[in-house]
Amino acid sequence: MTHVSVDEHAVRVAALLGPALEVGAERVPLLSALGRVLANDVLAPVDLPLFTNSQMDGYAVRSADVANAPVTLPIAGVIPAAAGEPPALAPGAAVRIMTGAPVPKGADAVIPIEDTTVDGGSVTITRARSAGEYVRERGSDVRSGALLVERGRMLSSRHLAALAAAGIGNVDVRQVLRVAVITTGSELVPPGEEALPGQVYDANAVALIAAVRMCGARVALSRRVVDDPAQLLAALDEAASAADLILTSGGISKGDFEVVRELLEPRGATVVHLAMQPGGPQATAVFEGVPVICFPGNPVSTQISFEVFVAPHLRRTAGLAPERRETRTLSSGVHSIAGRRQFLRGTLVGDAHVEVSSGPGSHLVAGLAASDALIVVPEDVTGLEPGDPVEVWHL
């Protein structure tokens, strides 16, 4: 086992994940596409508006006929919305028209109802209007064949509305990345059951499943295995056929019962000890063609390792914005171990400060829950004073 840097491991993970992140496309109904990433450019299949229509409730006229307003015109009829193709407007007449209804041939302006008075079968128009006023021309929003929504866009309500307006019922979106989560450890019991002496609750399954979902990927399979290579092998077999990427926790350190290491190291896994705290022991492997990223078993190590090495890739694949990272001013001093990149748990204070909110221990799972940031202390720094600038990752 060699000590390697966080950056070197990150590069290895990225290279391993690269092909798995090249997901294909699938066609889904419009509403299932919310929050998904558009796989191809969508060109407008029609003009929008579909036909020239009225912007107001009022009277469609020839603008030439009202140039000398006030003027009184006979009312030729009424055009509601959904009227079909209305008859052409005769010169010297007006037709009552509703918002969105098709403007008849011959008419080129709409007089809002406020500028009219009706007496029997005639309407008096009190104000002249030019050609085009209160008329929405066919194709004035977008022309048939023009780009409607571009590929790579994460689809929001406004994109779906435009696609719907153009009559599109299904769209091609990127498939959701399928992730398998395998937690290992003979000491683990699922939350909700009773832990016997020496047993602990499995926080890593819940943590990884939830974190994967927050990154816009799907958990295709989740297994909890004891420290038995045969059980782990069976779980990996299942996982490799169900998922594009496998995450494991535990069993990767230097102890006597390191099941992940024992099974995968002979199969070519790269097992490393990272210059990182928490999260020293880590590994990468390929199992039946599927990348396997192995995290240590301490729940804080697992969560921070996921955030450092995997989350940014999943978020990008799902079209999500990266988590916010910024420089802030430290409110309290900290000590750090030379030669390790430390990820301390912090609390954001106001807009510009951050304070350390929990100890550095990799078991402080409640401390992490109570924090809302990670504070990154570089390898060559052994201490920071109040007022020093630090890199902060929002959680």
CB of 15 vs a copy of itself, minimal distance in Å: 26
Nearer residue to a copy of itself within complex by CB, 169 or 350: 169
CB of 255 vs a copy of itself, minimal distance in Å: 4
CB of 385 vs a copy of itself, minimal distance in Å: 26
Kindly list the distances between the CA atom of residue 90 and the CA atoms of 59, 99, 256, in Å, as whole numbers in the listed order.
Answer: 13, 21, 95
Nearer residue to a copy of itself within complex by CB, 287 or 357: 357
CB of 204 vs a copy of itself, minimal distance in Å: 7
End-to-end alpha-carbon separation of the chain, Å?
A: 31
φ, ψ for residue 178, nearest 5 deg = -100, 125
CB of 22 vs a copy of itself, minimal distance in Å: 26
Question: Rounded to an integer, what distance in angstroms lies between the CA atom of residue 111 and that of residue 108?
Answer: 10
φ, ψ for residue 112, nearest 5 deg = -60, 150
Nearer residue to a copy of itself within complex by CB, 31 or 121: 31
Question: Rounded to an integer, what distance in angstroms lies between the CA atom of residue 54 and that of residue 57?
Answer: 7
CB of 264 vs a copy of itself, minimal distance in Å: 18
Nearer residue to a copy of itself within complex by CB, 34 or 221: 34
Nearer residue to a copy of itself within complex by CB, 4 or 195: 195
Nearer residue to a copy of itself within complex by CB, 195 or 349: 195
Long-range contacts of 310-316 (CB under 8 A, 24+ apart): 310/13, 310/17, 310/215, 310/245, 310/247, 311/211, 311/215, 313/13, 313/14, 313/17, 313/21, 314/177, 314/179, 314/212, 314/215, 314/216, 314/217, 315/215, 315/216, 316/21
Question: Rounded to an integer, what distance in angstroms lies between the CA atom of residue 95 and that of residue 102?
Answer: 11
CB of 388 vs a copy of itself, minimal distance in Å: 25
Question: Rounded to an integer, what distance in angstroms lies between the CA atom of residue 195 and that of residue 198?
Answer: 8
Kindly list the distances between the CA atom of residue 345 and the CA atoms of 5, 211, 269, 312, 331, in Å, as whole numbers in the listed order.
Answer: 20, 17, 30, 19, 13
- The two beta strands, 42-43 and 147-149, are antiparallel
Residue whose C-alpha is closest to residue 95's, from 127, 137, 140, 65: 65
CB of 368 vs a copy of itself, minimal distance in Å: 5
Nearer residue to a copy of itself within complex by CB, 176 or 384: 176
Sign of CA dihedral 33, 36, 39, 40: positive
Nearer residue to a copy of itself within complex by CB, 11 or 146: 146
CB of 243 vs a copy of itself, minimal distance in Å: 17
83 CB-near residues (< 8 Å, 6+ apart): 101, 102
Find out whether 41 and 80 touch, Cβ atoms under 8 Å. Answer: no
Nearer residue to a copy of itself within complex by CB, 45 or 70: 45
> What residues are paired with 188 via a beta bridge?
200
CB of 7 vs a copy of itself, minimal distance in Å: 24
Residue type, 333: G
Nearer residue to a copy of itself within complex by CB, 111 or 364: 364
Kindly list the distances between the CA atom of residue 394 and the CA atoms of 160, 326, 347, 372, in Å, as whole numbers in the listed order.
Answer: 30, 8, 9, 6
